[in-house]
């Protein structure tokens, strides 16, 4: 195993762990404060974007060079609005409406969509293993939503919609910025993506007031807000950065620890309880992603190109 691959593995495992932790922290904030999804996102995206770009500037990296190339900044804006903002908003709304574990599992459906996208793009029918994995993943979603009873659906329609949007957003921000990252590096792309997404969200929510929100926070809730921002931001940098060294399929496989971390933290810290069939559904989704990632080395090579 070469040094670059080891670095990629370390990045995706660390990023997946941090993302698995960040979900329960965000859920705790929703339970303990009056903060909304939009408020949280504005704070996270603006502060994280400014911090990342500031660090890059201090390290003498030219953070504005990308704006000299129209094709590049057009792709960057698409990533910021559709990928960064879309995925994060859908994920956080799913956390707010349901819980962190459900949001993480919906996000984990991304590899299924990636498999379908790659098959369509390269006009290659899914293999038997891929088709079986997709069926298993869909079965997992069924159990997650219904807990085994179609007459007693656990999740609301809104939660299901935002959960599916989370999966779509995950797929987009995994595939779309690959060429940008290869040329500019993940910190720059993530930094600008977060800052642009935060600015767009702020313009759409002019009632937001940081000072008014700060008055409602205690030391404990402020600390947890910082941890949520830090863990979520670093996980994005590490996850997207790992794509420089690993294929999209490989990152999907290794990120399977996300729901496991989220379940452990939610049960031990938030005292969440889950139905037996829901846990089975979550396990089926993880198994499906692993099955998709392991045997198809050819698709992994395609994803790198």
b/e burial code for range 55-67 (CB count within 10 A of at least 16 → b) = ebeeeeeebeebe
Tell which residue, 290, 239, 227, 267, has the closest CA to residue 16. Answer: 239
Indicate whether 110 pLDDT > 60: yes
The confidence score (pLDDT) of residue 249 equals 66
Mean pLDDT of the region 3-19: 89
Q: How far apart are alpha carbons 168 and 28 in whole angstroms?
A: 25
* Mean pLDDT, the chain, integer: 87
Query: What is the token pair recorded at 87?
Result: 């995925």
Q: Give the DSSP letter of residue 125.
A: P
Tell which residue, 196, 222, 200, 219, has the closest CA to residue 210. Answer: 222
End-to-end, the C-alpha distance of the chain in Å comes to 20
Using one digit for the tens of pLDDT, what is the confidence trace for 115-124?
A: 888 888 888 8
The confidence score (pLDDT) of residue 195 equals 96
- Alpha-carbon torsion 243, 233, 169, 250, what sign? positive
Contact (CB, 8 A) for 108 and 256: yes
Using one digit for the tens of pLDDT, what is the confidence trace for 125-166?
A: 888 888 898 899 989 999 998 888 877 778 889 999 999 999
Using one digit for the tens of pLDDT, what is the confidence trace for 262-281?
A: 988 999 999 988 888 999 99
Query: What is the signed CA dihedral for 98, 103, 105, 108, rounded to 10 degrees?
Result: 160
Query: What is the signed CA dihedral for 100, 104, 105, 109, rounded to 10 degrees?
Result: 150
Confidence of residue 291 (pLDDT cuts 50, 70, 90): confident
């Amino acid at each position: 195993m070469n040094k670059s691959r080891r670095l990629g593995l370390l990045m995706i495992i660390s990023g997946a762990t941090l993302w698995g932790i960040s979900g329960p922290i965000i859920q705790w904030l929703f339970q303990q404060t009056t903060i909304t999804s939009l408020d949280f996102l504005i704070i996270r995206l603006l502060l994280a974007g400014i911090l990342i770009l500031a660090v890059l500037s201090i390290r003498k990296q030219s953070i504005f060079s990308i704006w000299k190339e129209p094709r590049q900044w057009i792709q960057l804006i698409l990533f910021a609005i559709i990928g960064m903002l879309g995925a994060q908003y859908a994920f956080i709304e799913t956390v707010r409406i349901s819980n962190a574990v459900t949001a993480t599992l919906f996000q984990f459906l991304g590899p299924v969509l990636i498999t379908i996208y790659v098959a369509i793009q390269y006009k290659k029918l899914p293999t038997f293993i891929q088709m079986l994995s997709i069926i298993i993943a869909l079965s997992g979603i069924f159990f997650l939503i219904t807990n085994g009873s179609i007459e007693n659906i656990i999740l609301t329609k809104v939660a299901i919609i935002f959960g599916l949007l989370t999966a779509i957003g995950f797929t987009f921000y995994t595939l779309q910025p690959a060429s940008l990252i290869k040329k500019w590096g993940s910190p720059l792309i993530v930094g600008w993506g977060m800052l642009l997404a935060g600015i767009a969200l702020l313009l759409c929510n002019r009632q937001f007031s940081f000072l008014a929100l700060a008055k409602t926070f205690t030391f404990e809730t402020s600390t947890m807000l910082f941890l949520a921002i830090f863990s979520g931001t670093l996980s994005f940098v590490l996850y997207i950065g790992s794509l420089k060294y690993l294929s999209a399929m490989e990152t999907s496989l290794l990120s399977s620890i996300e729901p496991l971390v989220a379940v452990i933290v939610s049960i031990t810290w938030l005292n969440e309880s889950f139905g037996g069939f829901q846990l089975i559904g979550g396990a089926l989704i993880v198994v499906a992603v692993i099955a998709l990632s392991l045997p198809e080395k050819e698709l992994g090579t395609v994803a790198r190109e």
